[in-house]
């Protein structure tokens, strides 16, 4: 989580924003990341999270949703923080920058090493919206290339962004 926060600080210097909601989301987004599949399934059931076929095949995908529910229950986080944490792995049709910043920082933090990461980092320093769109697009392209599942929320996030152009 610290490397995600460090990337947030880099963006903060460029954009001169002070987004307490994004900072809270960053510190809470991966609190359950290291748990096992049984934990993810049991906690999703506890919180009434509908588990999709894709999430049954890869329960780790539930970690953000579970973290969001936990933060809402324990700390009464607002909807902006909740959405940012809930959808940080998939993307979402965010109507604020908090979720976009969360996803960007998580995807591009300095320990990430994948083809195209430097290009995406460069774009993140030029604009939050364009970086967000390119990261969501990259998630889809990567999944297609590796023959992985594509989360419906990721497709919806991309389509939502395209529809606004």
CATH of the domain at 37: 1.10.3210.10
Q: Which range marks the domain in which residue 47 is found?
A: 2-163
pLDDT at 4 over 80: yes
Q: Tell me the pLDDT band of 18, cut-offs 50, 70 and 90.
A: confident
- Specify the pLDDT at position 16: 87
Distance between CA atoms of 46 and 24, rounded to whole angstroms? Answer: 23
Query: Is there a contact between 83 and 153 (Cβ–Cβ < 8 Å)?
Result: no
What is the band of 19 on the pLDDT scale with cuts at 50, 70, 90? Answer: confident
Mean model confidence pLDDT for the chain:
96
What average pLDDT does this structure show over 31-52?
98
d(CA 33, CA 15): 29
Q: Output the pLDDT for position 39.
A: 98
Per-residue pLDDT, 64: 98
pLDDT at 126: 97
Q: How many domains, in total, are found in the chain?
A: 1
């Amino acid at each position: 989580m610290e490397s995600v926060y460090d990337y947030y600080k880099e963006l903060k210097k460029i954009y001169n924003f002070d987004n307490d909601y994004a900072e809270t989301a960053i510190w809470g987004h991966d609190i359950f990341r290291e748990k096992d599949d049984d934990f993810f399934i049991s906690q999703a059931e506890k919180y009434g999270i509908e588990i999709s076929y894709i999430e049954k095949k890869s329960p780790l995908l539930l970690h953000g949703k579970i973290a969001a529910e936990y933060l809402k229950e324990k700390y009464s986080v607002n909807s902006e923080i909740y959405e940012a944490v809930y959808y940080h792995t998939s993307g979402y049709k965010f109507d604020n920058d908090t979720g976009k910043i969360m996803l960007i920082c998580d995807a591009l933090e300095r320990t990430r090493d994948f083809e195209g990461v430097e290009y995406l980092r460069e774009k993140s320093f030029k604009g939050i919206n364009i970086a967000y769109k390119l990261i969501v697009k990259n998630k889809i392209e990567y999944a297609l290339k590796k023959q992985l599942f594509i989360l419906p929320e990721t497709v919806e996030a991309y389509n939502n962004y395209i529809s606004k152009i």
